[in-house]
Structure 1
Amino acid sequence: MTGLLDGRAVVVTGAGRGLGRAYAHDLAAHGARVVVNDVDAAEARTVAGEIGGVASSHDVSDPAQVDALMSTCVGAYGRLDGLVNNAGLYHEALPWEEDPAAIRRVVSVNVLGSLLCQAAAGKVMREQGGGAIVNASSGGMFGFPAVSTYAATKGALAALTYSSALDFESVGVRVNAISPMALTRMTEHALGRDLAPSTSDKPPLAGIEDKPPERIAPLVTFLLSDLADGITGQFFRFDGHRVSVVTTNAFADHPSVVSDQWDVAGLADAFRGPLAAKLQPYGVERRLPPPLRRRIR
């Protein structure tokens, strides 16, 4: 399917290396014309040269530069059919050691950047009558030690996907999110960390050494193609071997206790009683809340 995306124009942010570079290469191999965006201008030019694309060093956290980025795509290719919101900053810090300036920068790139890119690309796609957007979230949003700021930004991208898919559906634009698991410079750093004790015998990053970014790229290409027609508002976890649909039923039959009138004592009884066994594991390592840990012992 080398011509799967023939005639399509796609912007990939954060495409100078790692996953973004792999996405750009795979999209181009399937016929797409790609704008390779990265704040590292040299890396953007290198990747663009490798695939015959257009390089962009626009900063996605700056509204004016985002508009210029989308204009670059339209100016070069006459259209804009796909956006991969991949640009992001990784950040580690314990909550009580956070630096406000670092928080602001991570949120500006990871969240504001994706919002701005989606808004600007969405205007063009709406006028064209269609398109597709892929937002790069992360399994970190489910909980990972010392990355609460980063995790919060990736959770925001999942929420962005669910909500904006509703708005874009009427104008023919599909929006999906992915949680890629691959060996990159970011995950190489995480591999060297001491993780908190896990309730599972399988570490959160087990086997990642054998998962290069290139194995993730086909999912992005698929989601930007007509083969994914009708697939929108979804969140997929992918490690190059297993692809999973992350369930998001907001109206599920959640464990609950009903009372005509609650007070603090009644709530305490409920959480000591029937709700205690229903408390959920948290974090990618599936750590149990203390009440459940005590019961198991």
Structure 2
Amino acid sequence: MAILTGKAVVITGAGQGLGRAFASHAAEHGAAVVINDIDEPLARQVADAITERGGKAVVSAGSVADPQQAEIMVDTCTAAFGRIDGLVNNAGIRYQASIGEDDPTRMRELIETNVLGTLYCTNAAVQSMRGGSIVNLGSVAMAGQPTALTYSASKGAIASITAGAANELHDKGIRVNAVCPVAWTRMAAADTTAVPGGSPESIAPLVTYLLSDRSAKVTGQLIRFAHGKLHVMGQTSPKEPVIEQDGWDVEKITEAFELLQPEDPAWVRWGVAR
């Protein structure tokens, strides 16, 4: 039996790129899928392709930045398939802009889509979910990336949403994880610092796994999947050494930072952590 047989899943931003790959792979493994995208013709193409191959798919077009649309997506899923077992918060925006030269209108649009969209869809989905899995789209950009301050901020928020929702929803049997992939998509092409990654289809098996019951013990994780490597990323935590003093003054703090920072003067740069 396919590992998602009997499950109904909503996937946002599924008209192309990663979302399309996630939807197609989930359907191939038995899931009934709600295809969301702001571009309805693209969403329709994905749904038609799935149904032509014998799968189950319906469309719920609209922006995830609209909380009513988030509720409609969930209602579409429960009306069409009788349930909702999974949500993939894939819809997102990315662009490059130097600090001080960014456009406030674009900044707001990105945050509303990437952050509020994830919150709206999660908020709507958990009202109808009886257990199941939520998969968010994170990024190592959360550590800070040149000319992408707003995008980096949005992905830092996704990490916090993932951790917070996983803790709160654990007792309801709902798992929440984030995938931090590298894949060559139209959105990735907007990143002038990006190293080309694999195809969106190469990332899809991880999302299908996280939606399935096989991942029953996996929650609250940031999962990096890039260049053939899979690993879990550490959440925010203290870095060694932890220095303790009975009392602190400016001189002692100065001495402490001489111990804390590596010799490399670029120790805070995103490139080091990448």
Aligned equivalent of 1:269 = 255
Q: Deviations over 1:231-289 (max 9, x none)?
A: 11111001262111112263x56323322222333322332x3223388834552179x
- What is the alpha-carbon root mean square deviation over aligned residues? 2.0
Q: CA offsets per residue over residues 13-63 of structure 1, 9 Å max, x none?
A: 000000000000000000100000000111111111111211111211111
Q: Which residue of 2 aligns with 1:295?
A: none
State yes or no: 1:254 paired with 2:240.
yes
Using the size of structure 2 for normalisation, the TM-score is 0.92
Corresponding position of 1:183 = 184
* C-alpha distance 253-140 of structure 1, shift in aligned 2 (>3 A): closer
Structure 1: which amino acid aligns with 2:144? G
Taking the aligned partners of 2:45 and 2:83, their CA distance within structure 1 comes to 23
Alignment of 1:52-63 (within 5 A): 52=51, 53-63=57-67
Distance 1:287 1:44 in 2: 36
Aligned mates of 1:249, 1:68 — CA distance in 2: 35
The residue identity in structure 1 corresponding to 2:128 is: V
- Aligned partner letter, 1:44: A
Determine the structure 2 residue equivalent to 1:117: 121
Q: Which residue number in structure 1 is paired with residue 43 of structure 2?
A: 44
Name which of 245, 266, 279 aligns with 2:232.
245
Does 2:72 align with 1:68?
A: yes
1:102 equivalent to 2:88? Answer no
Where in structure 2 are the equivalents of 1:190-205 lying within 5 Å?
190=191, 193=192, 195=193, 205=195
Aligned equivalent of 2:87:
83
Contact 1:215 1:239 in 2 (8 A): no
Say whether residues 1:160 and 2:161 are aligned partners: yes
The residue type paired with residue 41 of structure 1 is E
CA distance in 2, matches of 1:54, 1:282: 46
Q: Specify whether residues 283 and 18 from structure 1 end up closer, same or farther in structure 2 by C-alpha distance, changes over 3 A only.
A: farther
Q: Percent identity?
A: 44
Contact 1:142-1:282 within 8 A present in 2 as well? no
Q: Give the aligned length.
A: 268
Q: Match for residue 201 of structure 1?
A: none
SS of structure 2 residue aligned to 1:268: helix
TM norm structure 1: 0.85
One-letter identity of the residue aligned with 1:56? S
Q: Counterpart of 2:260 in structure 1: which amino acid?
A: L
Inter-partner Cα distance in structure 2 for 1:275 and 1:181: 31
Provide the secondary structure at the position in 2 that maps to 1:124. coil
- Take 1:287 and 1:114, find their aligned partners in 2: how far apart are those partners? 26
Give unmatched runs, 5+ long, in structure 2.
52-56
What displacement does 1:9 show?
Answer: 0.5
Cα distance change of structure 1 residues 241 and 277 upon mapping to structure 2, 3 Å threshold: closer
Pairwise mapping of residues 133-148 of structure 1 onto structure 2 (< 5 A)?
133-148=134-149
CA contact (8 A) 2:94 2:190 kept: no
SS at match of 2:272: coil
Taking structure 1 as reference, are residues 277 and 139 closer, same or farther at Cα in structure 2, changes over 3 Å only? Answer: closer
Tell me, in whole angstroms, the C-alpha distance in 1 between the residues paired with 2:214 and 2:22.
17
Which SS does the other structure have where 1:75 is aligned? helix
* 1:227 aligned partner: 214
The answer as to 2:157 corresponding to 1:171 is: no
Note closer, same or farther for the CA distance 1:70–1:249 as it changes in structure 2 (3 Å cut): same
Contact 2:179 2:224 in 1 (8 A): yes
Moved more, 255-264 or 149-158: 255-264
Aligned to 1:25: 24
Give the Cα separation in 1 of the matches to 2:236 and 2:18: 29
Q: How far, CA to CA, are the matches of 1:277 and 1:239 in structure 2? A: 27
* Aligned 8 A contact 2:7 2:85 in 1: yes
Q: Counterparts of 2:5 and 2:263 in 1: how far apart (Å)?
A: 50
Q: What letter is aligned with 1:270?
A: A
Question: Which residue identity is paired with 2:212?
Answer: S
